[in-house]
Chains A and B, each alone.
Chain A
Amino acid sequence: MRPLAITGLGVVSAAGVGYDRFREAAGAAEVDLFTAAPTTFAHAPHPALRVAEVPAFDPKAVVGDKGLRNNDRLTRLLLVASRLGLAHAGIKVDGAFTALGADAVGVCASTAYGSIKGHLGARPRRRLEDPRYLNPGKFPNTVINSAAGYVSIWDDLRARNACLVTNGPTGGVDVFDCAATYLGAGAGEGDPRGAERP
């Protein structure tokens, strides 16, 4: 199997947004990633919990304002991370593909449950009333692979799109395995066997 190479990083973590923040946090002697007053959920009933969240997360600054209204937080996080990763690798800079074409760039993402908020928000109405009364703009958030799908749509990535459901911590490793399978099967540019591109 041909070895893989990581050419770019788009990091959205509790250390901050962007590769520079991540590098600073990784090189620091001591970093406090936890916050005492999270904004994403009510922390008061569970004061003993240690919470880490992305500080000052503003997806509009990276991906723009249009179309973000119906996207859930998971989708926004993945959109920003993928956009930063593409730019860091030099594949797509300022909305234009520079190194590879759109047909040669795919998405492999990993999640454990998808969007919990989207799933829980749609479930009571679907069970108690008619499913036709679900909001069609937010119903795609209930599907586990919706975040990976939105990344392909927003960044116009037309190669394979895969979202793995894993047990969480190993998901970041499983996506590399999935990407290696796709590249080995010829689903990308630079295939050693000269297979057709997807």
Chain B
Amino acid sequence: MAVADRPLDPPPPLRPRLGDPRHDHGRGRRDHRARRRVDAPRPRRDEPPRAPKYAPYLLSMAVARRLRTRGQVLTLPAACAAGNYAIGYASDLLRADRADVVVTGASEMLQEVGTASAPRRPRAERCQPFDLNRPQAHPRRRERRSCSRPKTTPRPAARQHRRGRRLRPRLRRAPHHPPRARGGASSAMREAIARSGLSPDEVDFVNAHGTGTRANDSVEHGRARGLRRAKRVPVSSVKSMLGHTMGASARRRPSPASRRSRAESARRPSRTRPRPRVRCVDLVANAARSGPADVVINNALAFYRPATTPCCSSLKLAPARPR
């Protein structure tokens, strides 16, 4: 699809492969195997852990074999920022004159998502970035009082057993470092703008990381201020629609550089409550907003620390030059 989007020559077809339903004369072996995987029993508690069956680099190698490319084939894992990382490395390849055309992207297949996929979460726990009315935006009363007492496992295990409750560990909340994270994120945005030869006032839209947590909202507010614009820039995050994926969350966002998005010229919304209470940012909430979206900053955070991160990647997507 990426090659078809650009006016390049289509790749030649490969030889028919056994098990491919397009080439196995209707036997449907692949469909049968897929159905068997879906119907497999759920893992039991005493099941030993298994290593991943396929190495992550196989996907990029398969794409390179399919396209019959001759250049570098690399896989750059960077958790939630993998998509932006891959695009950034592709831009470096072009800047270094080491490639003429680079196919880049991100994948979710081999990361075993399951942390916070939107359709599987209860309604009250869904991702609602920048909405101060969401349930998880306010600290619970128990957490407020916990400043004066330890936060880990206050009740003894024997007492929970007497009450017939299931034992579950209550872990200490992860420490976060918003000031450093805000500084790194803002500098990444300024660097992306500077490398593009633009000014912050030319940015039309910021596609935020938007995990919907208090720490992330704090970092994103700092980033919006760090942009140093005269007016507030519209911000939204489609993570509230698609869920928080690990590998391709930075790339699953609709790319304003694609032809279809430029034609629509609409800023994609974040799903929030009907009347979101927002502070500091111009949130595009619940409905798309018409307006220019030629220069977009796509933010992604990857944790190199236990909680929020001092490392982020920002990406400016500008209209493609005519060939």
Within 8 Å by CB of B78, from A119, A136, A145, lies A145
B306 close to A139 (CB less than 8 A): yes
Q: Across the interface, which residues of B come within 8 angstroms of A143, CB to CB? A: 77, 79, 302-303
Count of chain B residues with a beta carbon within 8 Å of a chain A beta carbon:
47
**Are A144 and B77 neighbours in the complex by a CB distance under 8 Å?**
yes
Q: Can you name the residue of chain A whose Cβ is closest to the Cβ of B55? A: A112
Chain A residue nearest to B81 in the complex (CB): A145
Within 8 A of B (CB), among A152-198: 152-153, 161-167, 174, 177-178, 180-187, 195-196, 198
In the assembled complex, which residues on chain A have CB atoms less than 8 Å from the CB atom of B310?
Answer: 153
Give the residues in chain A near B76, CB-CB below 8 Å. Answer: 145, 162-165
Interface size on A, residues (CB 8 A): 51
In the complex, the answer to whether A127 meets B114 with C-beta atoms within 8 Å is yes
Of chain B, the residue at the smallest CB distance from A145 is B77
Q: Is the CB of A196 within 8 A of B72?
A: no
Question: Within residues 86 to 143 of chain A, which ones have a CB less than 8 A from any CB in chain B?
Answer: 112-114, 116, 119-121, 123-124, 126-129, 131, 133, 135-137, 139-140, 143
B contact face: mostly helix, strand, loop, or mixed = loop
Number of A-B contacts (CB under 8 A): 124
Distance, CA A198 to CA B191, complexed state (A): 7
Q: Which has the most chain B C-beta neighbours within 10 Å: A114, A161, A182, A185? A: A185
With the chains together, A146 CA to B303 CA distance in Å?
8
Q: Which residues of B contact A164 (CB under 8 A)?
A: 74-76
Quick check: which of B92-100, B127-135, B216-224, B286-294 contacts chain A, the rest being far away?
B92-100
Does A149 have its Cβ within 8 Å of any Cβ on chain B? Answer: yes
B9 interfacial contact with A, CB 8 Å: no
Given A128-B45, A139-B306, the answer on whether A133 and B51 have CB atoms closer than 8 Å is: no
CB-defined contacts of B51 to chain A, threshold 8 Å: 113, 116, 119-120
CA of A119 to CA of B160, assembled, Å: 30
Q: Are B115 and A187 in contact (CB under 8 A)?
A: no
Footprint of A on B, CB under 8 Å? 43, 45, 47, 49-52, 55-57, 72, 74-79, 85, 89, 91-93, 95-98, 112, 114-116, 168-169, 171-174, 191, 194-195, 302-307, 310-311
Question: Residues of A with Cβ closer than 8 Å to B?
Answer: 1, 70, 112-114, 116, 119-121, 123-124, 126-129, 131, 133, 135-137, 139-140, 143-146, 149-150, 152-153, 161-167, 174, 177-178, 180-187, 195-196, 198
